[in-house]
Amino acid sequence: STLLDIKNLHVAIKGEEILKGLDLTIASGEVHAIMGPNGAGKSTLASTLAGREDYEVTEGSVLYQGADLLELAAHERAAKGVFLGFQYPTEIPGVSNLNFLRSALNAQRHQRGEPPLDGGAFMKLAREKAGQLGMSIDMLKRFVNVGFSGGEKKRNEMVQMTVLDPTIAILDETDSGLDIDALKVVADGINTMRGADKAILLITHYQRLLDYVKPDHVHVLADGRIVRSGGPELALELEEKGYQSVA
Ligand code: ADP
Ligand code: MG
Ligand code: MG
């Protein structure tokens, strides 16, 4: 069934139109990749869906689980299962990964009207999810991303994602600048999350992540619109011929 339905989306930043009539429909269980040249509006789309400020929707609609997503505040979207990964993860000195995760999870539970997880239940969950992604307890106890390598930050982001267990994850160039090992960690995180009731929107400039995560649909975003859609083979074609061939 349809999870996210974007129709004729126009978005402006500081009065300048960036998205110019974007259409995209994502069903539960699907992985969609959005590729496109720099400046096309990929991050603008991700930020708009997450509800960041400064992104003004001037036309069009976004339905999530059949309801208007755009009228919800960012934290309400998160509580309803919309997760946005970060291109550049922040360091939070003084806050351990465990405390950060527990606060984020309990804030989400609070929004949903669920009681907070107690310490024992939380630790069990955190250990399980971190273990699946090869993160040690020692790493979980360290301050968020402080002194982490690029790959460790990505692993951490994937642990955050799987602990929060979103319904739709939007990953914006979460693969940029990664070596092959880190790329495999991101792919593991995504593949761990894949499921019939989940969807993933992978935004990427490069084809190589798609060697490890096979998308159901690939789209090209150029100048604020989806200009072409296809299957996984489209990513290979783009790699070979470049964006000029389609945009
Ligand atoms: P992409 O992620 O595809 O590289 P972006 O969505 O980041 O593209 O940017 C699309 C366009 O919007 C670019 O021309 C960029 O300069 C502009 N833009 C993005 N963010 C801002 C901002 N905060 N203020 C002004 N212009 C912005
Ligand atoms: Mg489909
Ligand atoms: Mg971007």
Centre of ligand 1 to C-alpha 176, Å, is 17
Confidence of residue 181 (pLDDT cuts 50, 70, 90): confident
The ligand minimizing its distance to the Cα of 221 is 1
Choose between 247 and 18: higher pLDDT: 18
Whether 43 lines ligand 1, by a CB cut-off of 6 Å, is yes
Residues pairing with 19 in the sheet: 11
pLDDT of residue 105: 93
Centre of ligand 3 to C-alpha 11, Å, is 15
Q: Does residue 176 carry a pLDDT above 80?
A: no
How much is the pTM?
0.91
By alpha-carbon position, which residue is closest to atom 16 of ligand 1?
Answer: 39
Domains and CATH numbers, the chain: 2-245 (3.40.50.300)
Spatial contact of 87 and 176, defined as CB atoms under 8 Å apart: yes
Report pLDDT digits (tens) over 222-244.
Answer: 999 999 999 999 998 988 888 88
d(CA 229, CA 183): 24
Q: What ipTM score was computed for the predicted complex, to two decimals?
A: 0.94
Centre of ligand 3 to C-alpha 44, Å, is 7
Choose between 246 and 1: higher pLDDT: 1
d(CA 123, CA 111): 21
Whether 36 lines ligand 1, by a CB cut-off of 6 Å, is yes
d(CA 225, CA 18): 9
Choose between 36 and 150: higher pLDDT: 36
pLDDT of residue 115: 97
pLDDT of residue 86: 67
pLDDT of residue 220: 96
Whether 38 lines ligand 1, by a CB cut-off of 6 Å, is yes
Which range among 3-17, 135-149, 154-168 has the greatest average pLDDT?
A: 3-17
The ligand minimizing its distance to the Cα of 41 is 1
Kindly give the number of the ligand 1 atom that is closest to the alpha carbon of 37: 3
Whether 52 lines ligand 1, by a CB cut-off of 6 Å, is no
Report pLDDT digits (tens) over 79-94.
Answer: 899 998 865 678 999 9
Centre of ligand 1 to C-alpha 39, Å, is 6
Centre of ligand 1 to C-alpha 181, Å, is 29
Q: Does residue 247 carry a pLDDT above 70?
A: no
In three state form, how does the secondary structure of 43-104 look?
A: HHHHHHHHCCCCEEEEEEEEEECCEECCCCCHHHHHHCCEEECCCCCCCEEEEEHHHHHHHH
Centre of ligand 3 to C-alpha 119, Å, is 37
Whether 87 lines ligand 1, by a CB cut-off of 6 Å, is no
pLDDT of residue 89: 72
Least confident of 51-60, 114-123, 127-136, 178-187: 178-187
